Amino acid sequence: MADAWLAHSAYIDATGEPIQKWLMERLDPNPGGTYLDLGAGPGSTSIAIAEKTGSSGKVITSDLVPEMVEAARGRIQSAGFTNVDYQVIDAQKIELPDGSVDGATFRFGLMLVPDAALACREVLRVLRPGGKFAIATWAGPDRNPWVSIIGLALTQHGKSPGGNPFEPGGLFSLSQPEVVRDLLEASGFIEVKTDTVATEMPASDFDEYWSRQLDLAAPLKAVFSSLSDEEAAAVKQSGRDMAASFIGADGRANFPAEAVCGFGVKP
């Protein structure tokens, strides 16, 4: 899905701006510092950090998927940043030395890690004392109809979108602030803070919303690829019906969205 995420990167940046602001205010990158961006996707957070650290600093842009790392590399280099290193990293086994980074971010990726507690302990290990960790995960499906509607429409037609989204590694596995707080504190972080941050997911019409979400969600796209044209059309119509309250008289769509953000410091 790397090409699709790159193609939609401007939209991802715009809709994620309030969340990015929260993360960056807590991370507060210092010029000359070294920072790790886990699950970096198309590199949005890496760019924000690179702007703050300057040429004397370093950002390690990473993702589990090599193609996503290369997509981020192309985008970041095109933007003119030279203070960025690119690595394929499994958050459950971060191949960096102990105490080697000043801060780390994990924007909309930690909830997808099978063992989120292990990933947090790995982040704690590679942070220097006083190092900061800022994360964002998605709140529950009731707070994010833009992502839940397609899954509900599939389920309505007897098609499973795959897996339990509330189990470890699922999209909503870290959807409650208290769960995020407990996770960070149990992993050894101090000064833990959590918050919810609202944003919006607009689209010119329902069709644009639908196609974009399928572009960006690999599991959903895989399910749709197995449907007949008639089945796909029926599921989409159900989705359209569910989305009716988010469609204006002019046909434009605007879905509410909410993130759960967390922050902690290494003692």
Confidence (pLDDT) at 1: 84
Whether 211 is in a domain gets the answer no
The confidence score (pLDDT) of residue 161 equals 83
Rama region for 162: left / alpha / beta (φ>0; ψ in -120 to 50; rest): left
Q: What pLDDT does 218 receive?
A: 85
Number of neighbours of residue 240 by Cβ within 10 angstroms = 16
Q: Looking at the domain assignment, is residue 240 inside a domain? A: no
- CA 220 – CA 214 distance, rounded (Å): 6
In this prediction, residue 107 carries a pLDDT of 98
Looking at residue 68, the DSSP 8-state letter turns out to be H
In-domain check, residue 106: yes
Start-to-end Cα distance in the chain: 37
Q: What's the confidence (pLDDT) of residue 219?
A: 85
Whether 223 is covered by a domain: the verdict is no
| Averages of pLDDT over each 10 residues, the chain, 267 residues | 93 97 98 98 97 96 97 96 97 98 98 98 98 98 96 93 91 98 98 98 98 92 93 97 98 98 98
Convert the pLDDT of each residue in 23-50 to its tens digit. 999 999 999 999 999 999 999 999 999 9
**Residue 175: which CATH number?**
3.40.50.150
What is the tally of structural domains in the chain? 1
pLDDT value of residue 204? 98
**In whole angstroms, what is the distance from residue 254 CA to residue 208 CA?**
11
Q: What is the pTM of this model?
A: 0.96
* DSSP state string for 100-123: -EEEEEEES-GGGSTTHHHHHHHH
Position 77 scores a pLDDT of: 97
Q: Is 36 part of a structural domain of the chain?
A: yes
**What integer pLDDT is reported at residue 40 of this predicted model?**
97
Does residue 51 fall inside a structural domain?
yes
- The answer to whether residue 61 is domain-embedded is yes
Residue 160's pLDDT is 85
Domain hosting residue 16, numbered range: 2-142+163-202+257-265
Contact between residue 189 and residue 3 where contact means Cβ atoms under 8 Å apart: no
Residue 218 lies in a domain: no
Residue 150: what pLDDT?
95
